[in-house]
Each structure stands twice: as C-alpha cells, then as structure tokens.
C-alpha cells in the first residue's frame, strides 16, 4: 500500500507525575495504569492517525518532568511541531510549572511551535485546586488552546491530538 504519511513530532512537557506518560499511553495503546513508572530522560512512541482524510505518523516524545532533566528539554522540543504542556488540576504547583514551560517555549521556539495546555486528571475534579477560570484566563492571554483531559477515563485525549493536528502543516 502506498501510504502518503505526514510526519510530525509532538512533545509532552510538564511537572513530574502530572500524567504525561499516562496520556501518551492512553492515546497510543488505549490503556491506563495507576502505577505508571516514571520516565527517565525521555521516551518516544509512534502512532499513525487519520484526520480529515489525511494520514499522519506522529512521533510522540514523553519527557521526564524532574528538574534534573530540564537542561535536556530543548533537545526534545526543538523541531517539534506541537508541544502539549500538562498540569494536574489537583496541584497548583504543577500549573505554575506549566506556565514556566510555556514561557520557555514561546521564548525559544516563538511561532514555530503550536502549544496546547492540558488540564489533566479531570476525573479527580472534587479535588480541583486550579480553577477552570484561572486556566482559561492564562490560556486566552497566551493565545493557546486549553483542553480538560483524563488519562484515566480517556476524556478528550484523542481530541487533543486531532484538534492540534488540524492546525499543523499538511506537508512534511
């Protein structure tokens, strides 16, 4: 079969334990585990996907959130078409960290990278510490799309990828 694949690199950033690996695994394998092992350095998975009749091959990079790996991050986000910056809705610290990632991406990558902000662990909304209003205000100010996700239930996980792909270039 002669497949015309459009390749894109997508990188996940965010504090440790916000659910980056879990979101990637939910999207690629449609699985979830409460005992997800921490990512060391970075890992990548590929996934083929069809959006609006076009075939895409995504190279998805899952980076470690620990500060000791911070200096490695540019290696992963440079050349990425999109970055998904994740926070955990039950942790204000993780939201503050997400804001810092966005500042860094905007400063270093400028308009070259599409950024989406992911409010993860929506299934724990009874423990929500970061209100939707605060997140929306920030996302609007920075001109980013905000998605409410749950790797546990799968809420909006596929949508994040599909909506982002729609605004990426249609060629390699």
Is there a contact between 113 and 83 (Cβ–Cβ < 8 Å)? yes
x/- map, 44-83, ligand GDP, by CB under 6 A: ---------------------x------------------
91 binds ligand GDP per the rule CB under 6 A: no
CA distances from 157 to 14, 21, 30, 50, 116 (A): 16, 12, 10, 15, 12
Buried/exposed 51-84: b ≥16 CB within 10 Å, e otherwise: eeeeebebbbbbbbbeeebeeebeebbeebbbbb
Cα–Cα distance measured from residue 58 to residue 82, given in angstroms and rounded to the nearest whole number:
11
**Total residues at the site for ligand GDP (CB under 6 A)?**
21
Binding mask 29-48 for ligand GDP (x = CB under 6 A): ----xx-x-xx---------
- Considering only 21, 91, 156, 164, the residue that binds ligand GDP (CB under 6 A) is 21
Q: How far is the CB of 125 from ligand GDP (least distance, A)?
A: 10
Q: Which stretch binds ligand GDP (CB under 6 A): 40-48, 119-127, 140-148, 164-172?
A: 119-127
Q: Which residue is nearest to ligand GDP (CB)?
A: 19
By CB under 6 A, residue 18 contacts ligand GDP: yes
Euclidean distance between CA atoms 47 and 52, whole angstroms: 16
Kind and range of the H or E element at 132? helix 132-142
Question: Considering the rule CB under 6 A, would residue 19 count as an interface residue with ligand GDP?
Answer: yes
Name the 3-class secondary structure at 18: coil
Q: Which of residues 136-165 bind ligand GDP (CB under 6 A)?
A: 150-152
Contact positions vs ligand GDP (CB under 6 A): 14, 16-22, 33-34, 36, 38-39, 65, 120-121, 123-124, 150-152
């Amino acid at each position: 079969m002669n497949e015309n694949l459009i390749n894109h690199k997508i990188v996940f950033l965010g504090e440790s334990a916000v659910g980056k690996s879990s979101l990637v695994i939910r999207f690629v394998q449609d699985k979830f585990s409460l005992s997800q092992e921490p990512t060391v350095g970075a890992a990548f998975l590929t996934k083929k996907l069809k959006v609006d009749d076009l075939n895409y091959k995504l190279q998805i990079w899952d980076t470690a959130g620990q500060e000791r790996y911070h200096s490695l991050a540019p290696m992963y986000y440079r050349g990425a078409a999109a970055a998904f910056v994740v926070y955990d809705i039950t942790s204000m610290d993780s939201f503050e960290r997400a804001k810092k990632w966005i500042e860094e991406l905007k400063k270093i990558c400028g308009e070259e990278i599409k950024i989406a902000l992911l409010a993860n662990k929506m299934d724990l909304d009874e423990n929500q510490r970061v209100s939707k209003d605060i997140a929306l205000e920030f996302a609007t100010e920075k001109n980013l799309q905000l998605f409410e996700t749950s790797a546990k239930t799968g809420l909006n996980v596929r949508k994040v990828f599909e909506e982002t792909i729609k605004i990426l270039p249609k060629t390699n």
